[in-house]
Every structure is written in structure tokens, then in C-alpha cells.
Structure 1
Amino acid sequence: MSSAEELQKELMTVRRNAIELHSSDQVQEAIGKLAFEVTEACSGKVPVFVTIMNGGMIFAAELVKRLDFPLEMDYLHASRYLGATTGGEVEWIVTPSATLQGRHVVIVDDILDVGSTLLSIIEACKSQGAASVKTCVLVDKKHDRKARPGLKADFTALEADDYYLFGMGMDYKGFWRNAPGIYAVKESDL
């Protein structure tokens, strides 16, 4: 069997055995509710939404199409994973091109796991003179390993137990970001 065939087999096994934590409908409903919170907090500020690639792109697209106020969109790419299933040091790959000086910034990401990447990005936005920095995540993973005790996003759509998650932007070894719900990898498949 070729390495491509082995990878395909592994990916299909992980998807088939995955535990569905939040269905596609539940995810969409949660994003809809979150959009009301974000609108209340950000309407009238003309914010810049900075999406963390690659994970945040699907969530950001689903969220911003529900927001009926002017906003600018940008992105950055910083990662602790780079295709692995465990995190290392934060690596900056692409920084936002929008001027953040004096702007209200909303950082959009797929998951708040440990939070090291998110904290690093918050500090980078503040150092560029952002008027305010808010964080918005699809999923907050429940555990006691946060980079700062009690770390929470300003806006959170869903919570999930401490599993390796994929779907709605979150990946398994770079794949399955396109899965429509939120799934946990069975420990035996890791």
C-alpha cells in the first residue's frame, strides 16, 4: 500500500470512528446566537476582524455573513501545530496587512485550547496600537491547562470536553477542516 493510500485509510478511519460532539445544525445555531452578542458589542465601531488561518476561516465566514454592520476583514497565520497533533512554540507565518493603530480588533479563531497563540496575537495587536482587542472563538476546550488561569475568549459559541477535535476549521493532521460538525478523535485512533 502506498503512503497516499495509507493516509487515506487513516483519515477515513478517524472520520468514521469520530464522536460527534456538536452536529452541523447545533454549530450553525450557536454561531447565530453568537452573532447577536458580537453585533451588540461591535456595532458602530467599524472593527477589523482578524481571522487566524487556517483554522478560523470557516468559522469566520459563517459568523461575518450574519453581522449587519460595516467591518473590515484581514487575517494572520500563526500556529503552534503546523500539521502536528501537539503544539510547540508560536510560529508567525503571515501578519495582518490592515493598520491596527486606533482600531477595534476582533480576533477570530476556531478553538481556544491552551491559548498561547491567542495571547501572543492579543499582545501583538496591542503593541500595534489597537484601541481594543476582543477574541471570538467557535469552541472553548474545557481543561485546566490554559496558558493563563481562567483564560476565556470574549465571545464563545460552544464548549467541548478535552478531546482532540476536528471539523468546522479544526483539523486532524491538516485534514477534515471541512467536516460540518465538531468531532472528537477516538483515543485509539490518535
Structure 2
Amino acid sequence: MIPLPPCCDNILYTEEQIKKRVVELAQEITAYYSKVLQEGEYLILVPVLKGSYMFAADLSRHIEVPNTVDFIALSSYQDSLTSSGEVKIIMDTRKSMCQKHVLIIEDIIDTGYTLSFLTNLFMTRSPKSIKTCVLLTAPKKKRMVANFHADFVGYDIGERFVVGYGLDFGELYRNLPYIAELKQEIIDEIKKKK
């Protein structure tokens, strides 16, 4: 096992806990789309890069309805902790979404900007349906987009800042097989620099 980095306090979710929850989410998604997809239809999974790549890969292996994967890369953070409120497309999807079922896969919903932006953007592409799946969700009081919620959610992490399993801090720690909580003094130091 990869040791806990010095910038982290503790492991919030172990590799085993994450694997179990990902399988449960895939079962929820499979159950939902088994009722929705008609003969010949398939689901388009759209992971948001970079953060959701591990989650999306593991999740897709357990979704038991026909699916394909397309990617989108976005940027919305001005530093390691704070969303700028402006979402920029770095790399767009390539597949047509017209009259297709789309599932956006994201690592975390924090302010709600990214998922709200993507949902609105994808609606202009005339999909048959759009749903969202996030591994982690932060408290709704942090949401800048009122009443936005994900359709499928792994864990509610409260006020914590976390790394691992695709989530980064300064582009590091995405490779951790677990989710760890960043030390408060690290967060305080970054906030002082603003």
C-alpha cells in the first residue's frame, strides 16, 4: 500500500471501501438504465478529466448495460482549493449525444459550477437524457448553483479537503488508491496566500 503522504492527516476511505461503494453505484446505475434503455440503445459515459479518471474506469467495469465512453476536460480552479466560478473547456467530447442517454461522471461536486455547466452544455446537444454520478459531494451550503444535486452519489465528505483516487492537490496524489484528508495547516497556509 502507498503510504499516507505527509500533507495528509488520515485515510477517510480505504481502497476496499471505495471498491465496494463503486460496485454499489454501478448496480444502482445498471438498475436505473435497465429500465430506461430500449432495444439497441446504449449509455454514453462522460468522465470529467482529470479527477474522475480512476473512478470512471472502475465504475464502467461494473455497469452492466451497453455503454461507451467519451471524455471532456474542464478547468474551473484558480488554485488548489478555490473554484474560479468560470468553467473552461480544455477538451470537448467527440461523440454525438443527439437522442442518446448521457451519464456525466465527476470526482466531486463542490460549488456545483462544473456539473451545472456541463448539464446545460449537453442539453444543447439534444440528448435523450442526462444524469450525473459523483464519487464525492460536499455540503449543499457550499453550492454556488442553487438546488443542483447529483443523481448518483458515492459519499458525502462534509467540509473536508481530500486527495487520492483521482483527486489531486497541486496535481499530486491522484495515484493514491484511497481517499485521504489534507491536513488543516496545509489548507490554512494556502488560504493565507490568497
Give the TM-score category using the shorter length: 0.7 to 0.9
> 1: distance between equivalents of 2:118 and 2:42?
20
Asked if 1:182 is matched to 2:179, the reply is yes
What value does the CA root-mean-square deviation take over the aligned residues? 1.6
* Structure 1 equivalent of residue 11 of structure 2: 20
Instruction: Give the 3 Å change call, closer, same or farther, for CA 64–40 of structure 1 in structure 2.
Output: same
Deviates more, 1:161-170 or 1:142-151: 142-151
2:64 to 68, 75, 97: 68
- List per-residue Cα deviations over 1:96-127 (Å, max 9, x = no partner): 00101111100001111111011000011100
Asked if 1:32 is matched to 2:23, the reply is yes
SS at 1:61 equivalent: helix
> 2: distance between equivalents of 1:82 and 1:132?
31
In the TM superposition, what is the alpha-carbon distance from 1:21 to its structure 2 partner? Answer: 1.3
Asked if 1:42 is matched to 2:39, the reply is no
Asked if 1:117 is matched to 2:110, the reply is no
* Letter of the 1:53 counterpart: L
In the TM superposition, what is the alpha-carbon distance from 1:161 to its structure 2 partner? Answer: 1.6
The TM-score, its normalising length taken from structure 2, stands at 0.86
> Any stretches of 5+ residues in structure 1 without a counterpart?
1-10
1:20-169 alignment, distance < 5 Å: 20-43=11-34, 44=37, 45-81=41-77, 84-88=80-84, 89-169=86-166
SS at 2:71 equivalent: strand
* Structure 2 equivalent of residue 6 of structure 1: none
Instruction: Give the 3 Å change call, closer, same or farther, for CA 113–62 of structure 1 in structure 2.
Output: same
State the identity %.
27
The TM-score, its normalising length taken from structure 1, stands at 0.88
In the TM superposition, what is the alpha-carbon distance from 1:129 to its structure 2 partner? Answer: 0.7
> 1: distance between equivalents of 2:132 and 2:96?
18
Instruction: Give the 3 Å change call, closer, same or farther, for CA 170–31 of structure 1 in structure 2.
Output: same
* Letter of the 2:183 counterpart: K
- List per-residue Cα deviations over 1:18-48 (Å, max 9, x = no partner): 3211111111111111111000112334110
> Any stretches of 5+ residues in structure 2 without a counterpart?
188-194
* Structure 2 equivalent of residue 3 of structure 1: none
> 2: distance between equivalents of 1:38 and 1:12?
33
> 2: distance between equivalents of 1:20 and 1:144?
24
> 1: distance between equivalents of 2:102 and 2:78?
25
